[in-house]
Structure 1
Amino acid sequence: MGKKLPKSLGTVRVPEQFQQVFIKAQEYVSRYFQNYKDNPKHGTIEISGERYILVRAASMSMEFFDLVISLYKNRGEKEAVNVAMGLLFDISHAVGKADAKAFHSKMKVFDPIEKLSAGPVHFAYSGWAFVDILPGSNPTPDENYYLIYDHPSSFEADAWLRHSRRAKFPVCIMNAGYSSGWCEESFGIPLVAVEIECRARGDKHCRFIMATPAKIEEYITKYSVKFHPIREKAEGLLIPEFFQRKRIEEELKKAQQELEERVKERTAELSKINLQLKREISERRQIEEALRQSEEKFRTLFEDSRDAIYITTREGNFIDANQSALDLFGYTREEMTGVNARQLYVNPKDARRFQKEIEQKGFVRDFEVKLRKKDGTEMDCLFTATVRRANDGSVLAYQGIIRDITERKRQEEQLAYMATHDTLTGLPNRMLFNDRLNLELAHA
């Protein structure tokens, strides 16, 4: 016969319909923690064969926030708090997932509901907090997952209260991270938890809402509307997103593919124009005459192209430029004839570098420079151009396309920034930290 289950719950409080499954969880979590061994001579603590460590609660809450605020004092308290919260949430979320996985394996728990129900009991035994799951919770393994719960004895809030400190923000970020990490591992769906009321801030409860990232804001808004005293506070709540690197990399890859496709299309258009010009032009007079004679053949393509197409003499005087080129630099057609291309370079050295490369190779492709508009605005551009030569090999003209990549570079820099910075805190290295943390957990 199996062990007789306890008749009542002592380590967690749940609505009546969940009591039996939590009573069962209480039995095997209790059994897990009963197998406790410590050996100070070797500096080890083991529970059911797993190595544990003891950490003083205040050092991971109030004192941690104080330390980060002192380190970031020149950047303001708000940014420091965001940094601390981001680090604590990611660490605790990862630990919650790892603890859940190890516990389920050790105790041979396979049912998702039983996996989840062990979490609050484990939470109590490991000293994080007592858990009170409130009516209205709907812990289903799908997008409608919803859990509202209190931590009456959160170690984080207690650390502040025991030192007679009051926080300006909800402090139980590790409670939120660990509990959402455990439940995420149990149900196999992404989950996030947010503390919406906090005793350390002067509220009656340390209350949390847990849901999928797609639904969390909706649930918080509904709660804040219903309970007016927290309405203003709810507007400033931070909703963490755990380990965003993969999503950001996918977005960056997609953007790069789209840009490469557009570059191929523009290059094909330029190749057609270059081929046509090569057949008709051998010297400057021939260029001008050929342009007049072939106006009907390529003028539509020339003028309608969204890229800036130009032809200049070797000295930089403009022979022709399409409407896109005029729009790009802000000149009228009459003004452009009096402009020398060298005037458009922000750095004169780039003009000399361009001329040297195109005359050595006969072409340039994706030659990156900074150019200046008529109004002085600087922009990042790419040249793709070829040399026009006379029969004797002398240079008659340069012709090509100028693409404004200012916005593209801004987007690439933004995506690169997001790949190495936290969207909540704006600080570097969080993604690298998370990536290494995942790697360590995978090898644990």
Structure 2
Amino acid sequence: MHPLKAVIPRGAATRREFLQQMFLTAGALSISGSLLSACGTSTGVGGRGRFGNIGPLGAPDARGIRVPEGFSTRVVAVTGQVPAPGSSYPWHIFPDGGGVMPKADGGWYYISNSEIPGAGSLGFQFPQLAPLSNIIEIFVPGLGGSGVLEFAADGTVVDAYRILGNTTFNCAGCVTPWNTWLSCEEWPNGQVWECDPTGANSAIARPALGFFSHEATAIDTQRRMVYMTEDMPDGRFYRWVADNTDWPAGAARPALQSGKLQVLKVNGGGVAAALNGPQPVVWIDALSPDQPQDANRHPDSAAFDGGEGVWNHKGFVYFSTKGDNRIWVYDTHSETLEVIYDLATAENPILSGVDNITVTKQGDVLVAEDGGDMQVVVILPDRTLKPLLQVTGQDGSEIAGIAFSPDGRRMYFTSDRGGPNGPGLGITYELLLPEGL
């Protein structure tokens, strides 16, 4: 058993619609606490990636999930139920972003955020209320956080426990190369929290990474940077640049205590022109980096409609924007930005409600849908699309938390507001891939 590593903060189809419904019915602040990845290959065409040859989705299995032939699924955790014998931790409400960290004995940890809204979420749903809700959040700790499923080498769940508590609307994040978990708070004055997946050390807030509606993070160890998305209708794309004191050359990890917060500026034809080809970009220093960024926008920075998942793969940083259903790629080599998928103009528009992103070693971009058709869709290296799975009977939920076991045979994902028999408070699945894939 691991102790609760709680910390006290500083002071319909999409999640935004779902939140609005909750707040309008006064349900958001009365949820019972008892129920309570490093983040592809070149973007150039060519290659079929890992999933290029999978077949079409079959009929729903016993859990209501459609998968290609040779794949199978199982449930590994259900909200409110204890996932492992001997554990006293009931799996958390609204499991969202997730990642996997390997263990020395061949097992692994699956880390999962709990996306429970709180007072600060009022400012996320209704931006005009952010100044007030930010203050309330200081005095009313949230019910969110992060939990862990611990797996043995044979895939058995052997323990479950919490590694972060008293935070709000924890969305995505990533497993760091130095074996910690970055958990993002998605509200206007939210922070990134660094957590120990083993449960041995308490979580630590990292204010150097900025105050905004953090969605996800991705790490570039070569350039000593952290990329971050902001889920607001006028959100920005950020990076934190370490200084030589915080992350000395050759050091295994940064202190995440000092450095520079920057936002992306798109030159050339601007953001709209990125639909037609790569546009040059530059990074500019954020205004008042120690203050909520929604109230301190740099006038030259580019606005993105609802930043979601982000993933760095070999210097190509993929991110999604749900407001306009686009997948973007920032090329750190050429310093350009391009749209590689746009629902409105796509020849094969099977991907909507774009959200979490995971990129395989082979360059497949896996995109989870928030709403849409409740699918995980693969953008192959040649930019063609294939569905990998579909959750049926859970309309109003979203898929999140995609992460692979260290050997790549198992893929974990969640239905944020799903249940074993339809709508619920969250369920976490495992997808077993065919041998040799």
TM bin, normalised by shorter chain, reads under 0.3
Q: Provide TM-score, normalisation by structure 1.
A: 0.27
The structure in which a higher percent of residues are strand is 2
Task: Tell me which of the two structures has the higher relative contact order, counting C-alpha pairs closer than 8 angstroms and 6 or more residues apart.
Answer: 2
The structure in which a higher percent of residues are helix is 1
Q: Which of structures 1 and 2 has the bigger CA Rg?
A: 1
